[in-house]
A and B are shown apart, each in its own frame.
Chain A
Amino acid sequence: MAHSRVVVLGPQRLQPTLALAVASLGLQGRLAAVTAGWEEREAEDQELAAHLAGRTVNLALYERADGVFRYDTELHQATRARQDRIRRSQELYRVRLAHQLEAARELLRRETRPGYEGLVPSQLEGAILGLRALDAEHVERIRSLHVEFEQRWKPFERESVALQRRELEATLADCAGLCIAGGNVGILLNRLRMFGVLDLLRGQPIFAWSAGAMVLTERIVLFHDFPPQGAGDPEVLEAGLGAVSGLVALPHADKRLALGDAARVSLFARRFAPDLCVALPARTRLDWHELRWSGESGARKLCADGSLAEVGA
């Protein structure tokens, strides 16, 4: 369910803007922090704490999950089995995706080739519809694996998880906001979902960046146009937590995407339309408030014509 107030920021490591964002909402008191995407380094949050003048309380979701798994081995095994099936489903989806994306790119290459005048657009439209259908099918397939898991194992009703949720709820009740850092997007998503953290909030605003921003969307898109191996096909991981709507979050897009390649930008934007595909370099800020997006200058969206435009333009 969409959250009432979310601030999405660019990456924070080198040019932190989080404190400014927190101050802009006039928040007082403590701030809960999620750094589970950093995995074993979860507790190494000294820079974040210093940036927020020592106001943070780390929810330690990674550590809590480890504790749950040590105590509740049945849940641990079930979770691993689920993740294994998700991983394999992702592999199979990737096989189909590679072919469909290559087909769409080949159509784009022929768009300006003599003899194909007027023939490509309708074929390309069909190819993009095919990509959207494949992405949607994948999201649904992974969602059904989660539903099956939750119905069978009822994690929130297990004492191992319920105990942690009670503690988290009490901690969050004392916090003015929740800050979600980046890292491994899969790990971060799973830890937030495992404890149902967003459901424990009482309307406090969320500040999120990098992978933290990605997990809040309705659909998590993995991307990198310059991998050392392979074609760098953007792929859907699975549904996100849905705290915000209509956004594909693209942190570090300035480094990870070929934003000057109009064909790639166009295909990306058309495939994920009508969602806003927004490049989120450092110092960017996007606000989700009353179910609408607004962006400060600098936040740019990928457009169907292959260009980039300021959000709101």
Chain B
Amino acid sequence: MSLLGDLAAKRHIGPADIDAFLRSHRFPLVEGRTVTFVFVGAADEVRLRHWIAGLPPSQIFTRFHDSPMWTLSIDIPEGSRVEYKLEIVRGTHHQLIQDPLNEELARDPYGANSVVFGAGYARPDWIGHDTEARLGEIQELKIDSAAFGDTRDVLVYVPARFRTTRRYPLLVVHDGPDYLKFASLRTVLDNLIHRLEVQPMVVALTGSSNRLVEYANDERQARFLVDELLPMMESRYPLLPQPAARGLMGASFGGVASLATAWRRPGVFGNLLLQSGSFVFTDIGPNDRGPVFDPVVRFMSEFRAAPGRPADSAYVSCGTYEALIYYNRSIVPLLQSTGMHVRFTESRDGHNWENWRDRLREGLTTLFPGQLMMVYE
């Protein structure tokens, strides 16, 4: 019998029974593939709001045996990570809240969502601080950009034990500050470099205050990265000169910016790490995602017609709960057709920063493998 069934089997469910039930379990309840969300409180209606493509975005809770408790059970496959909020309806008032019974939160630039882990999801052991890992450093630079006509801030991750006599690969990251804040990129780099799983590398963390424009195949972005940022980085840091030692990385529109830059300037960056890229295209008619996507769709039409060979290798990942999964699955054979070496991973997750965090090890070790088998310190 399910945990909820045990409670339902009681002849009368009083407040003390509910209190005891709440105290003795973690919520949501995860029993195999069945996840049960619970809310206790005054409401006319309670809904689950989530971002799983393919499921109705709002699912209604039912009151549990005339008690003040509301429940909703849904099927969540093993290994899933699902972010959600509760929508509490009282009269005409609708309020989106984090799940009061769940302390697990996933943060993003818009705040935080509650998160539930399906059975079998394992939090990676390389995303938290490792006391044995030597720590890299974040340096702050400013770059006057003729392309954009303004001054840009760039954060630079410099690996532990950095030496000017050695030369390093360079990874350029779109939405870099968000990767630091919401995907633990600094700690991930420290840990993976310490474990020798990725090469010690210099990482340029770029940002944009107008990313929906600048990341949507904007010629200025390619010019900024290739003609301004790259020469500046090469003048300040000892970097390996070959394209195979350079990479572009980004998620969502950052993925589009990475691909578009590599496509506009082939032969500069040999590696692409593309996470949940917003590679929206249409085969007929206009796109249904609004004008923000118009330049992306135009780019994808041009790219699909003449992909060239934007880079040598790519790691592509996308969550199966994202509406973008179709586009990301589509781009893999297209990239492969150019002769690129492509690795593609699907995860049971959505369009969010922790999904992108959880894929960093696979992506970085695919493109910049360390000397794991050769070094014994």
Contacts and interface: CB of A to CB of B under 8 A. Distances in A.
Interface string B344-377: 0000000000000000011001100101111111
Interface stretch (A51-59, A144-152, A179-187, A288-296): A179-187
B190 interface: no
Interface string A266-288: 00000000000000000000000
B374 A184 contact: yes
Contacts of B374: 184-186, 222
B6 interface: no
A229 B371 contact: no
Nearest to A215: B376
Q: Which of B369, B371, B376, B377 has the most chain A CB within a 10 Å cutoff? A: B376
Nearest to B163: A40
A224 B375 contact: no
Contacts of A228: 197, 361-362, 365, 369, 372
B362 A251 contact: no
B373 A222 contact: yes
A1 interface: no
Contacts, number: 52
A37 B196 CA distance: 14
A109 B121 CA distance: 26
Nearest to B165: A40
A214 B161 CA distance: 24
Contacts of A251: 376
A252 B365 contact: no
**Majority SS at the chain B contact face:** loop
Contacts of A223: 373
B289 interface: no
B373 A182 contact: no
Interface residues of A, number: 24
A184 B373 contact: no
B11 interface: no
Interface string A166-193: 0000000000000000111110000000
Contact of A182 (B161, B163, B166, B376): B376
Interface in A84-98: none
A91 to B, nearest CB: 13
Interface in B151-175: 161, 163, 165-166
Interface string B7-33: 000000000000000000000000000
A227 B373 contact: yes
Interface of A: 11, 13-14, 37, 39-41, 182-186, 210-211, 214, 222-224, 227-229, 235, 251-252
Q: Which 4 A-B pairs have the closest CB atoms?
A: A228-B365, A211-B376, A210-B376, A222-B373
